[in-house]
């Protein structure tokens, strides 16, 4: 069983990405694994002056990531990049220099947008960041999800048209995690 941290890049109460992330954890491929959602909305704005005395919410995020076997980033696309709240969280847990919580953690990148681009450009920016942070990131399959009726069922599961594809993505992510177990 793996412990996976899920980082959702939207704070919106009815976030499609959060709904999708929760549905992802209910797929058959998720069975037996432990998913913990990171609370990035509680983090202060990153300020390098605080590196020597990080806020408790930052310490908690770093401890959560360190205790995990991998991280799934589920992010919207904002203006063709990742939301500031997600970058803020990533920056916090990467510091102080030499004490990043992200290094070596296998990562999956997926996201939902209302546009046909399906967060492709945000994901590409995020991949660049994760490469610098030394996070081995699932390369294929890519998953660019457009929000549409039926993507999430009233029961909060992935709809039947997408469940097979998303389930395959999750299986590929767990294979990546397995390849990077100590």
Q: Residues in contact with ligand FNR, total (CB under 6 A)?
A: 14
Q: Is 113 among the residues that bind ligand FNR (CB under 6 A)? A: yes
Enumerate long-range contacts of 64-67, CB under 8 Å, 24 or more apart: 64/5, 64/36, 64/38, 65/5, 65/38, 65/93, 65/101, 65/102, 65/105, 66/101, 67/3
Q: What is the DSSP letter of 41?
A: G
Rounded-to-integer distance, Cα 46 and Cα 27, Å: 34
Q: Is 78 among the residues that bind ligand FNR (CB under 6 A)? A: yes
Q: Is 10 among the residues that bind ligand FNR (CB under 6 A)? A: yes
Q: Is 143 among the residues that bind ligand FNR (CB under 6 A)? A: no
Q: How far is the CB of 95 from ligand FNR (least distance, A)?
A: 25
Compare residues 29 and 86 and give the one whose CB is closer to ligand FNR: 86
Q: Note the residues at the interface with ligand FNR (CB under 6 A).
A: 10, 12, 15-17, 76-80, 113-115, 117
């Amino acid at each position: 069983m793996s412990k996976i941290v899920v980082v959702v890049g939207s704070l919106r109460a009815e976030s499609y990405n959060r709904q999708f992330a929760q549905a992802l954890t209910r797929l058959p491929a998720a069975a037996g694994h432990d998913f913990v959602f990171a609370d990035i909305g509680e983090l202060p704005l990153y300020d390098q002056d605080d590196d020597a005395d990080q806020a408790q919410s930052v310490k908690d995020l770093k401890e959560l990531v360190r205790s995990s076997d991998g991280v799934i980033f589920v992010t919207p696309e904002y203006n063709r990049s990742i939301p500031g709240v997600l970058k803020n969280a990533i920056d916090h847990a990467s510091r102080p220099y030499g004490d990043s919580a992200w290094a070596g953690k296998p990562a999956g990148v997926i996201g939902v947008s209302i546009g046909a681009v399906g967060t492709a450009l945000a994901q590409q920016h995020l991949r660049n960041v994760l490469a610098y942070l030394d996070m081995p990131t699932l390369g294929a399959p890519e998953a660019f999800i457009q929000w549409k009726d039926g993507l999430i069922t009233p029961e909060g599961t992935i709809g039947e048209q997408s469940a097979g594809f998303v389930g395959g993505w999750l299986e590929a992510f767990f294979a990546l995690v397995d390849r990077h177990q100590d």
